[in-house]
Structures are given as structure tokens and as C-alpha cells.
Chains A and B, each alone.
Chain A
Amino acid sequence: MAEMENCMRLWEVFVQPRTGAPHEHAGSVRATHAEMALQHARDVYARRGPVVSIWVVPTDAIYATRPGDEGPFFDPADNKPYRHPLFYKVPHGVKNI
């Protein structure tokens, strides 16, 4: 058992609900290697909903911001509404914008 724990890695799971839609983070699974991670992701996150594609990524391959990074990373975006596409009319029936 201890031996198995040692070779287990954590994988982040991203699922795509339909073709063309972005892959979204669904959660994580533990597995020894990529194929098994993909199968576990299928069983845990894709069995109940519509899913057309799954990605699994080793958690330690993700380089992320830290809690202290909020100020310099995100605050400057607060007062720049002109960066948002708020001034266009979206035609009826258009999705995924």
C-alpha cells in the first residue's frame, strides 16, 4: 500500500461539454500515469453529464499565482471598463461569446 501511494500522482481534470466550448476545470484525480488518470477522470467527472473531451494534466505541471500576487496581478484591471467588449450589440441567437 505504501508502495502504491508513492507512485500515485495528482492530476487536474478538464472536461469539454460540447465541441467548440472551452475545456473547464472539473476537479482532480489520483493515478499512477496519464492513461489511468484519463480513465478515472471519465468515471468520476464524465459519467453523468454531456462530455465530448477530457484533458488530464499533472498538477505539478501547473505554475500558478500565489495569494500575495493579487495586488500587482489583478487590481489594475479594476478600473478599465474600456477593456470589456460592453459596447457592441450581440445578434440574437449567437452563443459562446
Chain B
Amino acid sequence: MNLETLDAALRPALFEYLLCLGDDALILGHRLSEWCGHGPYLEEDIALANLALDCLGHAEALLTLAGEVEGKGRTADDLAFLRDAYDFRNVQLVELPRGDFAFTITRQFLFATYACLLYEALQQSAFEPLAGIAAKALKEMRYHLRHSSEWMRCLGDGTEESHRRAQTALDELWMYTGELFEVDDTLRTLIEARIAPDMAALQPKWREQVEAVLREATLTVPEDPPYMATGGRRGHHTEHLGHLLAEMQFLQRAYPGAQW
């Protein structure tokens, strides 16, 4: 099905779902962009900026589609710059401050492993425009996975300090990974309509792939915490998202409609 043949009853759920995907890409992309000019050396600075641009590209495609599905004339820019924190649907994992290089790389590795599985499955989505975006984004996410996996091995199996920093990042981030695989009523509706994949079914694969790289990196898989962080998909965010949006949205808020 496409925009014209989409069942009207599915629109609200699909709009929410596209915000989830688009906001993950937008906020992660913004966090990556904060490294521009601060990378550990020139080549890696360029690499991180490239990853950031890829994510922003995915966000633009997904939020544009979200606006079309919503049908109220909102553009990707409207959705990115004119919503408040409680309207954002990203997981908390992507909004956490960039931390040190090991933290950024570990997050990218955990997210890219998830995103590759997600986009692979979404290529078979019954909603054709989404399947198309997934096919395009998958190629780029596979590179994110290759780059971040290589760094996980370097950091984990590197010096005492790099190992310690990577392990610390992993331990801190682990409790934010459960949210990636939550299935709520919105998602269940779309799973039944074969628009979205069953995320719960992808989780074991994610874990298997993550553990394989961590073993090579001589890092220890963290114990599952008593509870996983949750709420981002319902608009409950950490304090960090508000600060991020204050900076990201400043120009459009101070000078509405400004173009350059």
C-alpha cells in the first residue's frame, strides 16, 4: 500500500511510528554532529560528521513521510524544529549527552546493530514508501555498524584506558537498550498490518550480534539491570533532550520561518 491506499484507521498509528523512527535518527544525528571540530583526529572527525549527516538524511526522509501521513501539511522542518520535548518519540538512548569518544562509539554500535536489523525487516513493509526509505538507509547503517564495530574492537582490545572507558560506556548504556525493542499498542497495530516488524522477535538477534563483537573486543556483556529505562516513545525524556532542543531549535524559534 502507499499514501493513497493507506487505511485511514492506520494513519494515527503510522504517524506515531514514523515519528519514533525519524526522531531517533534526528536526535542521534544531532549528538553526532556535536563532535564536528572535536574529533580525536582529523580523519575520525570527518567520519563522525559523515555519520551525523547520514542520520539527518534518514530523519528528513522519515519526518517528511510522517508529515504526509498525518495530512496536516507539516514538513520535516516543522516536525524537527517546532515540537517540544514531550512531543518527541525518540528512545532515551539517543538523547544522552555525547560523553567521551568511547561513549559515542559504544552508543553508535548498539544503535547501528539495532537499526540494521530494523531496516532489513522494514524493506518488506507493506507500506511501500517506508520500505523504500529503509532500503536506502540500510546501506548507510551497515557502514555505521562496520565503523563502530571496528572501533569497539580497537577500544576494548586496545590500552588499559581505552578498555576501561569502553566498558564504562557499555555499562552505562545497557539499561537504555531495552526501549529499542518495546512493543506497545501502536506498534502492535502496525505489526498486524504488516507495516512494521515485530521488534520483540528481533531482540535475540540483536543480542547475539552485539555479544559476538563484544567478545572480540574482550569486553564484558553487562548484567541486565533490575529495570530498563523506558518512556521516550511516550514523550517521557531525560533532562538532556530539553537542552539539546534548546540549541537545535533556537534559530527557528527566535526567527520563525528564517531561511538562508
Q: Does B50 contact A (CB under 8 A)?
A: yes
Known: A3-B159, A32-B154, A35-B150. A40 touches B43 (CB 8 A): yes
| CB proximity of B56 to chain A, nearest CB, Å | 15
Q: Does A69 contact B (CB under 8 A)?
A: no
The complex places the Cα of A3 from the Cα of B40 at a distance, in Å, of: 12
Q: Does A52 contact B (CB under 8 A)?
A: no
The complex places the Cα of A43 from the Cα of B54 at a distance, in Å, of: 12
Chain A residues touching B, majority SS: helix
Q: Does B47 contact A (CB under 8 A)?
A: yes
CB proximity to B under 8 Å, residues A22-43: 29-32, 35-36, 39-40, 42-43
The complex places the Cα of A44 from the Cα of B49 at a distance, in Å, of: 11
Report which of A29, A35, A47 forms a contact with B43, defined as CB distance below 8 A: A29
Q: Does B215 contact A (CB under 8 A)?
A: no
For residue B42, which residues in chain A have a CB less than 8 angstroms away from its CB? 30
The complex places the Cα of A14 from the Cα of B50 at a distance, in Å, of: 20
Looking across the interface, which residue of chain B has its beta carbon closest to that of A11? B43
Q: Does B44 contact A (CB under 8 A)?
A: yes
Query: Can you give 26 A-B contacts (C-beta < 8 A)?
Result: A3-B159, A4-B40, A4-B41, A8-B41, A29-B43, A30-B42, A30-B43, A31-B43, A32-B154, A35-B150, A36-B150, A36-B154, A39-B47, A39-B147, A39-B150, A40-B43, A40-B44, A40-B46, A40-B47, A42-B143, A43-B43, A43-B46, A43-B47, A43-B50, A44-B43, A47-B50
| Given A8-B41, A39-B47, 16 further pairs, Cβ under 8 A | A4-B40, A29-B43, A30-B42, A30-B43, A31-B43, A35-B150, A36-B150, A36-B154, A40-B43, A40-B46, A40-B47, A43-B43, A43-B47, A43-B50, A44-B43, A44-B46
Residues of chain B touching chain A, judged by Cβ–Cβ distance below 8 Å, are 40-44, 46-47, 50, 143, 146-147, 150, 154, 159
User: What 6 A-B pairs are tightest by C-beta distance, nearest first?
Assistant: A40-B43, A43-B47, A43-B50, A29-B43, A43-B46, A39-B147
